[in-house]
């Protein structure tokens, strides 16, 4: 390491379309106390990336480097870190939403945001996991406490969070109903979905009943219509803004529960997820990979909303 090390990073200095992403040299971070420096091998894209790129979102004004999850190798550890050593393969989700920055060759972040990489996955597959699997896990396990035999409705079941949520719900012993466009139904069945709904052909809120848990990755009108599918005491967990101030009152009136959650870093949850992966019960699907230098193309593909599984950028 020379005295002023740099790295490549997808920096943006203004909000806007994918062209605002500039892959440039920036200073390489150094691990502070309780942090590790990770050489990023692969990092995934999530809808939150293109939303923040376009409007700043929780982050406010650029400049910033997006990217919340990653798979890589520990390069150095800061003072007080006893859990990892240089050379360890790790996955992690940086603290959401303010710990962004994985679309770069290195990240320095608190050691507690990381766990060992599942042995059965390469860096591209592993990078696809953290944000979506933590989201699905925290929605289904922590918030909804899914039990064997319960009916779970997963919206956008072929998407990033959706395809992982289906597998986690099945591993929990649930009966899983997934929504997707017709051409994706074969994929849903491969994931283990018990019932596939083509949201373009039918109104799910008319078709589906007696649901215990809805995982709502769409928000707005979908959240509201989901309430009608629930049994008394059922729960809808939304990971996006709901958009109607009377949503919670409506849930109360129907005798159901409604929760809006953001994903949160948790090495304990990552460890649970890794066990599912290494037990062969959870596998991410990769839609496409792009080298970091082509990250703008990766954003363009993501924004079509038509991919199946995850988009990953690689730094090797």
Residue 132 beta carbon to its own copies: minimum distance, rounded to whole angstroms: 16
Determine how β-strand 211-216 pairs with β-strand 106-110.
unpaired
1 vs 82, which CB is nearer to its own copies?
82
Q: Is position 265 an interface residue for its own copies (rule: CB under 8 A)? A: yes
Q: Is position 95 an interface residue for its own copies (rule: CB under 8 A)? A: yes
**Span from 79-87, 190-198, 204-212, 275-283 in contact with its own copies (CB under 8 A):** 79-87
Residue pair 88/116 in contact by the 8 Å Cβ criterion: yes
Q: Is position 110 an interface residue for its own copies (rule: CB under 8 A)? A: yes
Q: Is position 5 an interface residue for its own copies (rule: CB under 8 A)? A: no
Residue 22 beta carbon to its own copies: minimum distance, rounded to whole angstroms: 26
1 vs 79, which CB is nearer to its own copies?
79
Residue pair 298/42 in contact by the 8 Å Cβ criterion: no
Give the whole-angstrom CA distance, residue 189 versus residue 181: 13
Strand residues in 128-256 grouped as ranges (E): 151-154, 175-180, 195-198, 211-216, 230-238
Of residues 266-285, which lie at the interface with its own copies (CB under 8 A)?
266, 268
**Span from 9-17, 39-47, 76-84, 248-256 in contact with its own copies (CB under 8 A):** 76-84
From first CA to last CA, the distance across the chain in angstroms is 18
Q: Is position 252 an interface residue for its own copies (rule: CB under 8 A)? A: no
25 vs 252, which CB is nearer to its own copies?
252
HSE-CB for 240 with a 13 A CA cutoff: 18
Of 33, 126, 118, which is closest to residue 76 (Cα–Cα)? 33
Q: Is position 51 an interface residue for its own copies (rule: CB under 8 A)? A: no
49 vs 105, which CB is nearer to its own copies?
49
Of these, 32, 185, 220, 225, which contacts its own copies (CB under 8 A)? 32
Residue pair 231/212 in contact by the 8 Å Cβ criterion: yes
DSSP 123-162: HHHHHTSHHHHHHHHIIIIIIT---TT-EEEETTTTSHHH
Of these, 1, 79, 232, 280, which contacts its own copies (CB under 8 A)? 79
Question: For residue 260, what are the β-bridge partners?
Answer: 238
Of these, 50, 68, 84, 96, which contacts its own copies (CB under 8 A)? 96
Residue 239 beta carbon to its own copies: minimum distance, rounded to whole angstroms: 8
- Give the H or E element holding residue 53: helix 47-55
User: Which residue has 């996991």 as its token pair?
Assistant: 129
Of these, 15, 171, 259, 301, which contacts its own copies (CB under 8 A)? 259
Residues near its own copies, by CB under 8 A: 32-34, 58, 79-83, 95-98, 110-112, 142-143, 237, 259-262, 264-266, 268
């Amino acid at each position: 390491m020379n005295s002023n090390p740099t790295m490549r990073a997808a920096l943006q200095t203004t909000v806007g379309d994918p062209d605002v992403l500039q892959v440039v040299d920036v200073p390489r971070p150094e691990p502070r106390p309780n942090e590790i420096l990770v050489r990023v091998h692969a990092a995934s894209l999530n809808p939150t990336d293109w939303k923040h790129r376009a409007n700043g979102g929780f982050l406010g004004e650029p400049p910033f480097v997006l990217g919340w999850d990653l798979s890589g190798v520990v390069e150095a550890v800061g003072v007080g870190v006893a859990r990892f050593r240089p050379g360890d393969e790790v996955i992690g989700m940086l603290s959401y939403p303010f710990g962004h920055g994985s679309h770069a060759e290195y990240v320095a972040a608190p050691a507690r945001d990381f766990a060992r990489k599942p042995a059965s996955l390469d860096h591209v597959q592993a990078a696809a996991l953290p944000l979506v699997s933590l989201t699905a896990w925290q929605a289904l396990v922590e918030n909804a406490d899914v039990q064997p035999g319960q009916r779970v409705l997963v919206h956008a079941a072929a998407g990033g969070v959706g395809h992982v949520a289906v597998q986690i719900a099945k591993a929990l012993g649930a009966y899983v109903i997934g929504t997707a466009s017709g051409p994706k139904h074969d994929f849903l069945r491969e994931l283990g979905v018990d019932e596939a709904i083509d949201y373009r052909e039918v109104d799910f809120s008319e078709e589906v009943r007696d649901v215990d848990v809805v995982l709502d990755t769409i928000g707005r009108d979908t959240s509201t219509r989901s309430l009608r599918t629930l049994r008394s005491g059922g729960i809808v967990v939304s990971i996006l803004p709901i958009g109607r101030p009377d949503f919670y009152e409506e849930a109360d009136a129907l005798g159901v529960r409604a929760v809006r959650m953001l994903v949160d870093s948790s090495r304990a949850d990552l460890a649970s997820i890794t066990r599912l992966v290494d037990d062969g019960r959870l596998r991410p699907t990769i839609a496409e990979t792009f080298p970091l230098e082509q990250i703008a193309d990766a954003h363009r593909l993501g924004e079509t909303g038509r991919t199946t599984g995850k988009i990953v950028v690689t730094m090797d």
